[in-house]
Amino acid sequence: MEWETVIGLEIHAQLSTKSKIFSSASTEFGQAPNSQACAVDLGLPGVLPVLNVEAVNKAIKFGLAVNAHINQRNIFDRKNYFYPDLPKGYQISQMDLPIVGEGEIEITVGDNTKVVGVTRAHLEEDAGKSVHDMFNEYTAVDLNRAGTPLLEIVSEPDMRSAKEAVAYAKKIHALVQYIGICDGNMQEGSFRCDANVSLRPMGQEKLGTRAELKNINSFKFLERAINLEVERQQDILEEGGQVVQETRLYDAVKHETRSMRSKEEANDYRYFPDPDLLPVEITDELMALIKSSLPELPVEKKARFIAELGLNEYDADVLTSQKSLADYFEIMLKNNQDNAKLCANWVMGELSAMLNKNQLEIEQSLVSAQDLSQLIVRIGDDTISGKIAKDVFKAMWEGEGSADQIIESKGLKQMTDTGAIEAIVDEIIANNSPQVEQFKSGNEKILGFFVGQAMKVTQGKANPKLLNQLLRDKLS
């Protein structure tokens, strides 16, 4: 039987506020254990949560960015369950009236573009962190993270493959960084994905039984975990079995998913409105203010790159896929208004390759956008050829100086002296008569041989355009 995969994602984006969602304790990452867990975060008797205005503003920002309905009256509920890293015995979350209602986002996989529905996004507090391998007989609990504001973004079950799920997750990841509500750091857990995966016979409308995959902390693992789960469910279904609704933990080391039995019985969370918190009301004025403060969104930036810079769809898509990448590219553009395509090629080509090779993110690039833009200027004004520029770039990466310094100190300036190049061309033609014959008998490809010879003599410094022109003139 042919099966259709159905995937919905729940994304937890940590909102980049200074203080926690309901207390004035710091949210800074990596501090001494429990040094940032105050009485409110610990759930000590007599404390009262007070909502952080920035958490509300950032949630609204997200809602507006995905064209969602904003519930201008929204309510906090208690989600009840027991776990050592949840000191109150409940998590403050939003159930019936979340701050962000239905919205949508467009994703692209290969040549296909589709719209994925955002069901809702709600504010909630994060739990603490349990460390299981610090002591033999104990689980150690660090509550610094308890009370950190999260926006849980729930999608419709609109995705049909692991690739689509990754495309959606990346789109949301880019968006939250663009609008400055989340730093997107997956290693530090600022952006986490859970995937609901089910299969159904192709053509059937009713959804199959789903499993929820947790503990996925990279896009690569998201794709792997979903594909693994699809295989597992397909095996069960094809043997006539039934998929059990459960939570499964992805283990990246063993490359397997396994059942988390502890979660099954806790499924009844007995939500009820939190009496400590009053309903939140969002005024029209605040909505308008936040709307006017929204920066250019990725989809708008992409359209502008195509319309104003003349980039193709693919380049524009790649360059806007990450805010940091788009920022880098736009800094380069300042000095290279007329060479947008060249800048794009360099960012997506040489720079990306170098970053990949050194396993660095663009923020960690050893060559700044400003410095790389100077190199592009020198290609643009014919000081150096594109080929020589690659060597200059390597030297810049090695810290040998700016583009101009390296061009100067290594004597890499392009030869544009027609007379000098002509002399070299004459000599090469005189010394290679068999190849000259071949060219004359119609072998156009042999021209490359002459170019190569000339470049060898000039150590790559001959202006390629000039050289080609001279060679053609002389040979024919």
Partner 1 sequence: MSLSEEQVTQIAYLARLTLSDAELKDNTKDLNAILGLAEQLGAIETDDIEPMAHPLHMTQRLRADVVTEQDHSDLFQSIAPKTGNKHYLVPTVIE
Between 134 and 360, name the residue whose CB sits nearer to partner 1. Answer: 134
Tokens for 258, please give them.
């396994």
DSSP bridge partners of 214? 249
Stretch that binds partner 1, among 82-90, 344-352, 414-422, 450-458 (CB under 8 A): 82-90
* 289 touches partner 1 by CB under 8 A: no
* 353 touches partner 1 by CB under 8 A: no
**C-beta of 210: minimal distance to partner 1 in Å?**
21
* 277 touches partner 1 by CB under 8 A: yes
Tokens for 189, please give them.
């857990």
Stretch that binds partner 1, among 264-272, 310-318, 408-416, 460-468 (CB under 8 A): 264-272
Nearest to 42 by CA among 121, 147, 113, 118: 147
Contact 17, 57 (CB under 8 A): no
Between 99 and 121, name the residue whose CB sits nearer to partner 1. Answer: 99
The DSSP bridge pattern shows strands 103-109 and 272-273 to be unpaired
Q: List C-alpha distances in Å: 297 to 179, 293, 425.
A: 7, 11, 53
428 secondary structure, DSSP code: H
Among 5, 14, 19, 198, binds partner 1 (CB under 8 A): 19
* 205 touches partner 1 by CB under 8 A: no
**C-beta of 53: minimal distance to partner 1 in Å?**
4
Between 142 and 212, name the residue whose CB sits nearer to partner 1. Answer: 142
Tokens for 120, please give them.
């809702």
Q: By rule CB under 8 A, what string of x and - marks binding of each residue 129-148 to partner 1?
A: -xxx-xx-xxxxxxx-----
Between 124 and 158, name the residue whose CB sits nearer to partner 1. Answer: 124
Tokens for 84, please give them.
């050592």
* 101 touches partner 1 by CB under 8 A: no
Phi then psi for residue 215, to 5 deg, are 70, 40
Among 47, 97, 294, 475, binds partner 1 (CB under 8 A): 97
Q: By rule CB under 8 A, what string of x and - marks binding of each residue 38-67 to partner 1?
A: xx--x-x-----xxxxxxx-----------
Q: Which residues of 118-133 are buried (b: 16+ CB within 10 A; e: fewer)?
A: bbbbbbbbbbbeeeee
* 217 touches partner 1 by CB under 8 A: no
Between 51 and 354, name the residue whose CB sits nearer to partner 1. Answer: 51
DSSP bridge partners of 14? 150
Grouping H, G, I as helix, E, B as strand and the rest as coil, residue 212 is strand
* 287 touches partner 1 by CB under 8 A: no
Alpha helix stretches (DSSP H) within 272-359: 284-293, 298-309, 313-319, 323-333, 340-346, 352-357
Nearest to 249 by CA among 238, 235, 266, 263: 263
* 30 touches partner 1 by CB under 8 A: no
Nearest to 60 by CA among 273, 271, 281, 275: 281
Tokens for 98, please give them.
């979340």
350 secondary structure, DSSP code: I
Terminal-residue alpha carbon distance, the chain: 66
Residue type (1 letter), 353 = A
* 338 touches partner 1 by CB under 8 A: no
Contact 3, 202 (CB under 8 A): yes
* 449 touches partner 1 by CB under 8 A: no
The DSSP bridge pattern shows strands 90-93 and 112-125 to be unpaired
Between 96 and 437, name the residue whose CB sits nearer to partner 1. Answer: 96
Between 143 and 154, name the residue whose CB sits nearer to partner 1. Answer: 143
Tokens for 433, please give them.
């008569």
* 375 touches partner 1 by CB under 8 A: no
* 241 touches partner 1 by CB under 8 A: no
Among 2, 30, 46, 82, binds partner 1 (CB under 8 A): 82
**C-beta of 179: minimal distance to partner 1 in Å?**
16
**C-beta of 45: minimal distance to partner 1 in Å?**
11
Stretch that binds partner 1, among 22-30, 157-165, 386-394, 418-426 (CB under 8 A): 22-30
In terms of residues, how long is the chain?
476
* 1 touches partner 1 by CB under 8 A: no
* 84 touches partner 1 by CB under 8 A: yes
Q: Can you tell me the distance from the alpha carbon of 9 to that of 48, in angstroms, rounded to the nearest whole number?
A: 33
Among 265, 284, 308, 338, binds partner 1 (CB under 8 A): 265
* 32 touches partner 1 by CB under 8 A: yes
Contact 17, 55 (CB under 8 A): yes
Between 113 and 139, name the residue whose CB sits nearer to partner 1. Answer: 139
* 24 touches partner 1 by CB under 8 A: yes
The DSSP bridge pattern shows strands 77-80 and 73-74 to be unpaired
Between 84 and 386, name the residue whose CB sits nearer to partner 1. Answer: 84
Binding site for partner 1 (CB under 8 A): 17-19, 23-26, 32-39, 42, 44, 50-56, 75, 80, 82-84, 97, 130-132, 134-135, 137-143, 249, 260, 262, 265-266, 268, 270, 273, 275, 277-281
